[in-house]
Structure 1
Amino acid sequence: MKNINAVLFDMDGTLIDSEYFYFSNWAPILLSDYGLDITFEDWIRDFAGHTLQDNVEMLKERYNLQVDAEDLWFSTRASYARANMKTIRLMPHAKDLLEMVKERGITMGLVTSSYNTTVQTVLGEHQLLDYFSFFVTRELVEQPKPNPEPYLLAVNKLNIPKEEIVVIEDTSTGCTSAKNAGLYCIAVTKQEVERKRLSHADVILNDLAEVKNSLL
């Protein structure tokens, strides 16, 4: 793309290596409370990139489990607190990419299905908050990804033509949200199960180093 004036980043699985953290906290709860034993591959295929409510509905429909969303919310949040989200690592090349975009004077926003407390905790630990002009978090939208609402809200905040905006995502859910908002989407993942679902992305790359080269 030419004339890029804004880049919108997803967070989980894109900038931070959080999916195994979430899996390692959910899996014991699903096993002890609901008798469901899942693998990390199951997590990537069925859970990653979705909101808690979406995952609750999936568990009810696919596994015929009687899951209470409020109970699961409290259980997972308590587990996150014990596990310490500050230990979540950045994805390889994340800071280099952010620094390059910043040096070029391109506006950056974060569009995530996570809550603001998670953004502040994890990105704050890595001193990345100041790279972003704004954050679109779960509590700011009625309809999260894959609905286009999060990215449409970001477009309104930017006041930049859509053709000058690039989105960086790692899941089909996020890419669907971006594309339905009329935006150019670069998908970045090495997960084969996810790559097969990303045919609607404009480009599919392996890591953020490739994203950096693409934006150059």
Structure 2
Amino acid sequence: MIKTIIFDMDGVLVNSEPLHHEVSLVQFKELNIEVTNEIFATFTGNSNKMIYQKIKDRFQLEHEIEDLIAAKNKLFIEAFDKKEDLHLMQGVKELIEDLYNNGMQLVVASSSEMEIIDKVFERFDLNRYFTHKVSGNDFPESKPNPAIFLKAAELAQTPVENCIVIEDSTNGIKAAKSAGIYCIAYKSEGVDSQDQSLADSVINDYKELNYHIIKNIN
């Protein structure tokens, strides 16, 4: 029986990936580098540490990775605070409340830094529902490495066979499957850049899920 749901954040809980892309383009322009949409799509699900290591290597930047990440996060937080039309994914709050009210344990496992996770959770009043928040920045390797999901299951004190991951990215789905966890892929409207074929199931709308459906997944 499923006891713990592990949510990714960007693109799963909140439609923040376009904003991440927007501020990254501003930063790339300042750095005088051109990162194509095709290259950017491969970053989804990776931690900033891994993303900026790839960028540093590809474009032979002299900047320190930590400085690049700090500059990007500063841009993101400034834009996040000003963006009034940024919302949770349609239906996800209702699903969270349904799972929480029925005793499911909820954990977030995001590649973002904790300061970004905290910012999102405070804005949308999510802290009350989740027992743990895990940041990919705390691990040597990011998704598709399974470490972040294994840590989430460990913190929840739940065997992986009693967990479910909800993800949207190719890298995140690979990480969940490598961890031995059942993975539901959330495919939001207009997002076709991620291969979700390895997921155990794919949904287009959170109305397709509820406590009774999830608890009986084998």
Q: If the length of structure 1 is used for normalisation, what is the TM-score?
A: 0.85
**Would you say 1:66 and 2:66 are equivalent positions?**
no
Matched residues, percent identical? Answer: 28
Structure 1 residues without counterparts, runs of 5 or longer: none
Give 1:38 deviation, angstroms.
Answer: 4.0
Q: Could you say which residue in structure 1 is the equivalent of 2:205?
A: 207
Q: Could you say which residue in structure 2 is the equivalent of 1:78?
A: 74
The letter of the residue matching 2:44 is: A
Contact kept, 8 Å, 2:9 with 2:110, in 1: the verdict is yes
After TM superposition, list the pairs within 5 Å mapping 1:31-70 onto structure 2.
31-36=29-34, 38-39=36-37, 43=40, 45-59=41-55, 64-67=58-61, 68=63, 69-70=65-66
Instruction: Name the stretch that deviates more: 67-76 or 159-168.
Output: 67-76
Give 1:37 deviation, angstroms.
Answer: 5.9
The letter of the residue matching 1:65 is: F
Distance 2:149 2:8 in 1: 10
Q: Could you say which residue in structure 2 is the equivalent of 1:162?
A: 160
Give 1:46 deviation, angstroms.
Answer: 2.6
Q: Could you say which residue in structure 2 is the equivalent of 1:24?
A: 22
Q: Could you say which residue in structure 2 is the equivalent of 1:198?
A: 196
Distance 2:145 2:82 in 1: 29
**Would you say 1:127 and 2:125 are equivalent positions?**
yes
**Would you say 1:92 and 2:86 are equivalent positions?**
no
Contact kept, 8 Å, 1:146 with 1:177, in 2: the verdict is yes
Q: Tell me which of the two structures has the higher relative contact order, counting C-alpha pairs closer than 8 angstroms and 6 or more residues apart.
A: 2
Distance 1:78 1:108 in 2: 28
Q: Higher helix share goes to which structure? A: 1
TM-aligned CA distance change 1:207 to 1:34, over 3 Å: farther
Q: Could you say which residue in structure 2 is the equivalent of 1:148?
A: 146
Give 1:139 deviation, angstroms.
Answer: 4.3
* 1:36-59 deviation line (CA, Å, top 9, x unaligned): 1645x764x233222223223443
Distance 1:85 1:174 in 2: 27
The count of aligned residue pairs is 208
Distance 1:158 1:70 in 2: 30
Contact kept, 8 Å, 1:60 with 1:66, in 2: the verdict is yes
Q: Could you say which residue in structure 1 is the equivalent of 2:136?
A: 138
Instruction: Name the stretch that deviates more: 124-133 or 78-87.
Output: 78-87
Structure 2 residues without counterparts, runs of 5 or longer: none
Distance 1:132 1:175 in 2: 21
Give the one of 6, 11, 14 matched to 1:13.
Answer: 11
